[in-house]
Amino acid sequence: MKRLVSTFAIVLLFALTLGNTLAANKGGHQGTSRLDLVEATVSELQQALRTNLITSEQLVEMYLARIEAYDDAGPRLNAFLTVNPRAEATARRLDRERRGRERSPLYGIPVLLKDNVDTRDMPTTAGSVALEGSIPPNDAFITRKLRAAGAIILGKATLTEFANFLTNGMPAGYSSLGGYGFNPYEPRELPGGDGRPVLSPGGSSSGSGIAVAANLVAVAVGTETSGSILSPASGNMAVGIKPTVGLISRDGIIPITADQDTAGPITRTVADAAILLGVLAGFDRSDPATRACLRPGNCFSDYTRFLNRRALRGARIAVPPFPDNRAVIMNAAIDVLRAQGATVETVPALAAQQPGCPSTVFPPVEPWPPPGCASALFYGFKRDLNAYLATLGPASMVHSLSDVIAFNAAIPAVALKYGQILAQLSDSIDISPGSDDTMQYTASRAEDIVRSRGALDSVYNGADGQRGTEDDFDALLFSANSGANTPARAGYPSITVPGGFVPPVAPMENPFPSGVTFSGRAFSEPLLIGLAYAFEQATLHREPPASAPPLPSDTVVRRNRDRDRDDRHHRDDHDHDDRDDR
């Protein structure tokens, strides 16, 4: 892979820049205002905007420079499927309108959307060539919320095609439209492979995780059905929140199944995740699941109030068995939890869930799906994707899952590098009311809920089995996304935070990131955010990748006397704007 500079030079440049940044923070630049874009938080960016150190237009330009340097060139991370051509114009408008609107924490802040979230002014494709150029008629509900909050949609992120429900064996982060995404902590192709990376970026929200990790954007939105936020967040040393199903509207998001789908934040810090979650959450009359937000105490517009460094004091955390190759990270995390005042107890593995339905042969062996397997994803994919595609109108090339399959089959060299067996199996299901498949799905989904919620609640309720007693557990602690399946089926929330690095295994050359994940009861996001924040602040594991070091344009410094002059010019500009408006 083509690189801009050698690995040694990258590391040296990063070390020198980091040293300069630390010196500035220690008073080496007294009498100045300074912004270092790499690792900057939303609060730091807002401070720079409020003090007129930068404008939103400049901020967008700074991120575009990093995208050009590291996504399009250099390590070619391929986090962006589309860069918004109107981002700079939107930023200029927001700069003009800023007065009185700074109360929104995302005002003027760039945000990246996974490319299964509808945008009325950019394609929404799920990474499929069958949807190339497809511009939906409306924004998704969460897109509208972001725009109303003053966020700038910087672009659309690469992803595993159709959120990794097209086929078996597709590498995380690959799509027929976008190609492969690369983990910035080791952005190399697998030697002798098919183009896939040495180190997985995690999926299916891979581009969101890559971009946040490499500081190509401030914050990003991913989606999850089972692990698709937790996996790329953990694998890119980021923070990811998979919310309770019903906290965030699914309107205008290309689905796998409404039974489990949800959008959620991927950020570099828990505080930024809390900010983004507060903007995304809330009732949407077009999504019945969000009626739960009308119940007091379920959903909040400000989750930053739950950031508590002492949240682990007195907390009770249950830890089921974890993978041997994550033992060092998990044992270290447990030590931290105890040192911060939490009680940590090991518990048996969660009760088994329904096995997945066999998905290796098409046409499927009759009867399919066979009794006793979890068919919710297959059934939901056909039902909910057909409903989504029907909203695209007559101009769309595809109007159903059958159309997608036929489109792909007509250009197999382009569309079917890894096949489409999951789509074919889904399309073979009869979703008509009263059909045998519908009755089996209904029973399977009910069994999923009973098993998953029963398994989780049996842990949270403690040894006495009674909720609300002293032996209750506040959360489960999992390694990375290893425990994603059961909370996903239950619709319960999880949050992952950086946990450290795992030693490399050949052909990898560098240690790779891994997270730890707190999972809790439905609508326990406030509690989980507090626990995750306390752990994050006690460890500070997050490190930026060496493959995307600071650029000269990433640093803005201004002397205070220049600030006074710029403030006068800023006031004059507003006066001109006011006269123009009149």
How far does the chain reach from its first CA to its final CA, in angstroms?
Answer: 55
Residue 410 contacts residue 420 (beta carbons within 8 Å): no
Task: Say which of 33, 56, 114, 514 is annotated catalytic.
Answer: 114
Question: Catalytic: 145?
Answer: no
| Number of Cβ within a 10 Å radius of residue 247 | 28
- Residue 427 CA: distances (Å) to CA of 129, 201, 355, 440, 513: 19, 29, 20, 16, 37
Residue 289 contacts residue 322 (beta carbons within 8 Å): no
Task: Say which of 200, 206, 226, 228 is annotated catalytic.
Answer: 228
Distance in angstroms (rounded) separating the CA atoms of residues 419 and 368: 19
Place of tokens 């790329």: 232
Residue 514 contacts residue 235 (beta carbons within 8 Å): yes
Structure tokens at 573: 């500009």
Q: Which of 449, 430, 450 is nearest to 440 (CA)?
A: 430
Distance in angstroms (rounded) separating the CA atoms of residues 218 and 349: 37
Distance in angstroms (rounded) separating the CA atoms of residues 33 and 26: 13
Distance in angstroms (rounded) separating the CA atoms of residues 292 and 312: 28
The one-letter code for the residue type at 320 is P
Classify the C-alpha dihedral 180-68-40-8 as positive or negative.
Answer: positive
Place of tokens 């989980």: 528
For 575, the enclosing helix (H) or strand (E) is helix 560-581
Distance in angstroms (rounded) separating the CA atoms of residues 320 and 481: 13
State the helix-helix crossing angle for 42-50 and 56-66, rounded to 10 degrees. 140
Question: Catalytic: 2?
Answer: no
Distance in angstroms (rounded) separating the CA atoms of residues 154 and 156: 7
Distance in angstroms (rounded) separating the CA atoms of residues 231 and 253: 19
Distance in angstroms (rounded) separating the CA atoms of residues 262 and 239: 16
Distance in angstroms (rounded) separating the CA atoms of residues 317 and 258: 30
Classify the C-alpha dihedral 551-554-560-564 as positive or negative.
Answer: positive
Write down the H helix ranges in 297-433.
327-339, 376-389, 401-410, 412-415, 421-427
Question: Catalytic: 228?
Answer: yes
The one-letter code for the residue type at 12 is L
Classify the C-alpha dihedral 203-206-212-213 as positive or negative.
Answer: positive
The one-letter code for the residue type at 510 is N
Task: Say which of 56, 176, 200, 204 is annotated catalytic.
Answer: 204
- Residue 505 CA: distances (Å) to CA of 190, 270, 509, 510, 513: 13, 29, 7, 8, 13
Distance in angstroms (rounded) separating the CA atoms of residues 117 and 376: 22
Which residues form the catalytic set? 114, 204, 228
